[in-house]
Amino acid sequence: MGALDGIIQLLLFVCFGVYVAMGIGLIGMGAWYMSDVGALGATAMWLLLFGFLMLIIGGVAIFANLKQMWLVLFVVELINVVLFLVRIMIPPPFFFLCPPFVCVVRHACRGWLTARDVLTCAEPLHRDRCRDHDGVGFFRPDPQG
């Protein structure tokens, strides 16, 4: 098992290095979002918080892997499991409470109503290109221009 120890330790360094890089990325995204919005919004706060937690946990894990403190690595993995479960369990209620999607049918119908208004000259902006052919106030596109 001695040959696998070095490979496992190297693999842990790579994995926790990616963990630290993701923490730095989340902190960067949170700072960019906060500077773009101009206020400390909830999204920026959560990005900064999770990025900071990932940075701390990754740093502790790299130190524990370097010093071969396996009990500390076990605690770090328990914290990772808790963070993973929190990240998995929090978003679904928000998707049910405020769905982030657009009704495709409503969007298509809204586009059709706009096209219909332009084609039938129902909008006042396009009445200069239309004539009242029937004399009852129903404007249709004028074929002559």
Instruction: Let me know whether 63 and 134 are in one domain.
Output: no
Indicate yes or no: pTM above 0.85: no
Lowest-confidence region among 19-33, 46-60, 96-110: 96-110
E-assigned strands of the chain? 130-132, 139-141
Instruction: Let me know whether 44 and 114 are in one domain.
Output: no
Which segment, 9-18, 30-39, 83-92, is predicted with the most confidence on average?
A: 9-18
pLDDT for 33 beyond 60: yes
pLDDT for 71 beyond 60: yes
Higher-scoring residue by pLDDT: 54, 144: 54
Q: What is the pLDDT of residue 124?
A: 54
Query: What is residue 102's three-state secondary structure?
Result: coil
The predicted model gives 1-15 an average pLDDT of 85
Mind listing the pLDDT tens digit for each residue in 113-142?
Answer: 555 555 555 555 554 555 555 555 554 545
Instruction: Let me know whether 90 and 42 are in one domain.
Output: yes
Q: What is the pLDDT of residue 23?
A: 92
Q: What is the pLDDT of residue 88?
A: 83
pLDDT for 16 beyond 60: yes
Instruction: Let me know whether 123 and 84 are in one domain.
Output: no
Spatial separation of the C-alpha atoms in residues 100 and 133, rounded to whole Å:
45
The domain in which residue 29 lies consists of: 2-97
Instruction: Let me know whether 32 and 9 are in one domain.
Output: yes
Spatial separation of the C-alpha atoms in residues 61 and 57, rounded to whole Å:
6
Instruction: Let me know whether 46 and 84 are in one domain.
Output: yes
Cβ partners under 8 Å of residue 95, min gap 6: none
